[in-house]
Chains A and B, each alone.
Chain A
Amino acid sequence: MVLKNLDSHYSYQMQNKGEVMFEFIEGFFTTYSDILPVIALSLRVSLTAAFIASLFGLTSGVIVALNEFKLKKLIMRVTNTLMSLPPVLIGLLVYMLISRKGPLGSYGLLFTPTAMVISQCILVFPIIFGLTVSSVSEAAKDIQLTCITLGAGRRDTLLTILSECRMQLLSVVTAGFGRAISEVGAVMMVGGNIRGKTRVMTTYIALETGKGNFEEAVFIGIVLLCISFIINIILYRIQRRE
């Protein structure tokens, strides 16, 4: 009898907790309904930029890692410099390129998500390229030699190297994505932080902090942290499985 009472008591408590949680989530998204599109746009822009930069950065990085040529040292020095390039400078360059009087002004890209993707690509490419060269240099040569001795063509060799070094390269891409999603200066300049159009998480935080709305800024900050945490969990699981 006592046990039965306890059981019903706990089930009532659990049900109550569930309701409270549901009410909290419902209330939260009603209050912060303008936040979801911001999170979605952030992910869309940064994932697209990381994907495009990875496509070119990984391929060219592996090719440079495999070959010895005169300009290699110079290319790596320039890359290392570009890896620490201030985002506002990239923002300025892209702004000058796509503003109405700029060479690409006719495309009407200024204050669009496309402009934000372009600036993030420029920001992330040197990171992905540079880290790829340094992380696969040793292994890539062994793999290339093996592929050649087994009669593989250039395409198969490149694909095999990308596949064999996938764990290192996954970390490289994650670092690139991390840089893209946490960047504020360039997207602010070329996106304009327009509500419902080009506002992303970082520019949202900057704006709300300026207005003194710390609660919302902190919430977005926590979302950013959560995204980073989730990505790291996924990466860790993949590495463990490998």
Chain B
Amino acid sequence: MIISVENLVKDYGNARVLNIEALQLNEGIYVILGSNGSGKSTLISLISGLLKPSSGNILYNGKKFDASIRNHISVLVQKPYLFKKSSYENIISGLKFKKINKEEIELRLEKYLHYLDVELLLRKKSHWLSGGERAKIALLRTAVLETEVTILDEPTAAMDIESTFKAEELLKEIAANKRTVIVVTHDVFQARRIADYVLFMDKGKVIEIGHKDDVLDNPQSPLLKQILNK
């Protein structure tokens, strides 16, 4: 899916938190970098339809956002809520909402579960899970949906290093078959490992966008240079 952003503005009262003239996202993994309050979460909330823009447009294959577009976008928010059910039921909850049949559910579980070694967690109720385990279940719940666009806000922030690497392999799998994956992270090294493209944001604007090697090896903005040098 091609996502085009045109003159996108988001205001909260008098404060302008996002102002993007033009942006186009295609297939592949896009990693959004930026400091706190740079507008990363606002941008993905707007793209996913969770927020309405103050002005401007977001087009999905040339069409405006509607209920049919929502079906092609899945989102993992920063602090995901897990239902008071078993991990297994949590993982398949989205598939059940979408009325996916049992055979297909089994196929998807077989395809994705092994990435994060969660077999032993499947029977556990969500309130017994640790922070990292909750993050894994929430990521899998989003992954199994196999939507054209998957948006993830700091999906590995609560995971240990080993699990983070495994989750990154899962992100690459999600992006296979010409899908679009948008990942917000503060981890520049993670961006190097998984990104096809990198967006760098500051003060509600996209400062740099391009192939990860171009942006991370040859940054143009002084702020990104400063961050990468640290």
| A binding-site residues for B, Cβ under 8 Å | 142-143, 145-153, 156, 160, 164, 242
Contacts and interface: CB of A to CB of B under 8 A. Distances in A.
How many chain B residues sit at the interface, stated as a range, is 20 to 34
B81 A150 contact: no
25 contacts: A142-B81, A143-B81, A145-B77, A145-B81, A146-B80, A146-B81, A146-B83, A147-B97, A148-B50, A148-B70, A149-B48, A149-B50, A149-B75, A149-B76, A149-B142, A150-B94, A151-B70, A151-B71, A151-B97, A151-B98, A151-B145, A151-B147, A152-B97, A164-B83, A164-B84
A145 B145 contact: no
B121 to A, nearest CB: 19
B26 interface: no
Contacts of A152: 94, 97
Interface of B: 48, 50, 70-71, 74-77, 80-81, 83-84, 93-94, 97-98, 141-142, 145, 147
B74 A151 contact: yes
A153 B96 CA distance: 11
Nearest to A143: B81
Contacts, number: 43
A151 B141 CA distance: 12
B70 A145 contact: no
Given A160-B83, A164-B83, A164-B84, A149 B77 contact: yes
A85 B142 CA distance: 47
Contacts of A151: 70-71, 74, 94, 97-98, 145, 147
A217 B80 CA distance: 54
| The 4 residue pairs across chains A and B that have the minimum distance between CB atoms | A150-B94, A149-B75, A152-B97, A142-B81
Contacts of B76: 149
A149 B142 CA distance: 8
A160 B145 CA distance: 18
A150 B93 contact: yes
Contacts of B71: 151
Contact of B74 (A150, A153, A160): A150
Contacts of A164: 83-84
Contacts of A147: 97
Question: Max chain B CB contacts within 10 Å: which of A145, A146, A242?
Answer: A146
B183 to A, nearest CB: 15
